[in-house]
């Protein structure tokens, strides 16, 4: 007798996914020793804030089928497959998450496969949880920080307006990252990427949202603060931007990495004066 697990692979796994994304779940029926019919059924149960928010499910086979499902309208999607002797078949279910879901909304999917003769059957459960994603936004070079500040202000106002009708509404922009080293781009953690362009409309320097999402690993190095003395060199010319000598030009004479301090010598002083300041209190000058 054929093994009840080995006759099929159901490649659905628990995962966190953003709104408006599509997850493909292949179901692979392996070679059968005899001609046999199978019924593959996908069903779903929900735990989400808004019971009217719909997910979309489709299946790719000889007769493509597509349905929408929600807590208020739960339906099963079934496809029948007939395997000949020593034949294999792949059926792919596509699950598209809702654009208007809430953080933590959960859909538990069940895919069951059973043979018409009742000898073979298997069921697999997997969960998809809605989670924020990271996007990149284009800006004009030099306006990265102003765009970030204006976007935060406008997203806060947008949230306050939406809460008048929906007390569960959260800020569409959960966090913003504008690394000094990155020119012309700003990163944001968002739940509904399609709404960011609407919120950012009219912000000076905003040039649009880049399609797709970004893995946190790609920008993780920007999240670790660099030592304030990073990039400073002995003999480099700097400008003091804080303290009693603010605006004065100076030359770096020594660097204390442990204390993150530098000792500089004022270059325009009649008498050479060594001054020790925090590394944050100076700005490198471009000397050509």
- The CATH number assigned to the domain holding 146 equals 3.30.70.940
Same domain as 98, residue 207: no
Same domain as 126, residue 69: yes
- The pTM (predicted TM-score) of the whole model is 0.73
Structural domain contains residue 230: no
Structural domain contains residue 249: yes
The strand ranges marked E within the chain are 8-10, 15-17, 22-29, 36-47, 55-60, 65-69, 77-83, 89-96, 106-115, 121-130, 133-139, 173-177, 185-190, 206-209, 237-240, 249-256, 261-266, 274-278, 282-284
Structural domain contains residue 151: yes
Same domain as 74, residue 19: yes
Structural domain contains residue 232: no
Same domain as 17, residue 91: yes
1 pLDDT more than 50: no
Same domain as 197, residue 84: no
Same domain as 102, residue 38: yes
Cα 104 to chain centroid, rounded:
14
CATH number at residue 265: 2.30.30.30
State the pLDDT confidence band at 2, using cuts at 50, 70 and 90: very low
Write down the pLDDT at residue 5. Answer: 53
In this predicted model, what pLDDT tens digit does every residue of 265-280 receive, in sequence order? 998 888 888 899 988 8
Higher pLDDT, 96 or 259: 96
Same domain as 204, residue 113: no
Average pLDDT, the chain: 89
Structural domain contains residue 171: yes
Q: Domain end: 130, 150, 174, which one?
A: 130
Structural domain contains residue 275: yes
Q: What average pLDDT does range 237-265 have in this prediction? A: 89
Write down the pLDDT at residue 63. Answer: 65
Most confident of 3-7, 148-152, 228-232: 148-152
Q: What average pLDDT does range 68-84 have in this prediction? A: 91
Same domain as 101, residue 21: yes
State the pLDDT confidence band at 61, using cuts at 50, 70 and 90: low
Distance, in Å, from the CA atom of 93 to the CA atom of 209, rounded to the nearest integer, reads 29
Same domain as 147, residue 92: no
Write down the pLDDT at residue 93. Answer: 94
Structural domain contains residue 227: no
Same domain as 112, residue 52: yes
Neighbours of 138 (CB within 10 A): 14
Q: What average pLDDT does range 41-55 have in this prediction? A: 94
Higher pLDDT, 163 or 33: 163
**What percentage of the chain has pLDDT greater than the value 70?**
95
In this predicted model, what pLDDT tens digit does every residue of 116-140 receive, in sequence order? 988 899 999 999 999 999 999 999 9
CATH number at residue 18: 2.60.40.10
Same domain as 108, residue 50: yes
State the pLDDT confidence band at 287, using cuts at 50, 70 and 90: low
In contact, 226 and 243? CB cutoff 8 Å:
no
Write down the pLDDT at residue 243. Answer: 86
- For the chain, what is the domain count? 3
49 pLDDT more than 50: yes
Q: Domain end: 86, 107, 130, which one?
A: 130
Write down the pLDDT at residue 4. Answer: 43
List the domain range (segments joined by +) for residue 141.
133-222
Q: Domain end: 86, 109, 130, which one?
A: 130
Distance, in Å, from the CA atom of 131 to the CA atom of 54, rounded to the nearest integer, reads 16
Structural domain contains residue 1: no
Same domain as 109, residue 182: no
């Amino acid at each position: 007798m054929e093994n009840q697990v080995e006759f099929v692979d159901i490649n659905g796994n628990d995962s966190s996914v953003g709104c408006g994304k599509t997850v493909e779940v292949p179901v692979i029926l392996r070679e059968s020793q005899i001609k046999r019919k199978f019924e593959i059924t996908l069903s779903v149960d929900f735990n989400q804030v808004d019971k009217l928010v719909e997910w979309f499910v489709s299946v790719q086979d000889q007769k493509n089928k597509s349905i929408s499902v929600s807590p208020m309208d739960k339906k099963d999607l079934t496809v029948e497959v007939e395997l000949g002797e020593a034949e294999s078949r792949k059926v792919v279910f596509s699950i598209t998450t809702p654009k208007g879901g809430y953080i933590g909304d959960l859909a538990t999917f069940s895919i069951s496969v059973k043979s018409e003769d009742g000898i073979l059957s298997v069921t697999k459960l997997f969960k998809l949880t809605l989670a924020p994603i990271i996007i990149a936004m284009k800006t004009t070079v030099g306006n990265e920080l102003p765009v970030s500040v204006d976007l935060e202000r406008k997203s806060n106002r947008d949230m306050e307006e939406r809460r008048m009708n929906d007390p569960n509404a959260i800020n569409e922009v959960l966090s913003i990252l504008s690394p000094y080293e990155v020119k012309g781009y700003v990163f944001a953690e968002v739940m509904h990427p399609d709404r960011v362009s609407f919120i950012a409309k009219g912000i000076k320097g905003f040039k649009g949202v880049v399609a797709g999402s970004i893995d946190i690993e790609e920008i993780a190095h920007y999240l670790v603060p660099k030592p304030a003395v990073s990039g400073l060199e002995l003999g480099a010319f700097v400008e003091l931007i804080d303290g009693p000598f603010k605006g004065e030009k100076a030359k770096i004479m020594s660097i204390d990495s442990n204390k993150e301090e530098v000792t500089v010598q004022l270059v325009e002083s009649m008498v050479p004066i060594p001054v020790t300041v925090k590394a944050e209190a100076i700005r490198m000058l471009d000397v050509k």
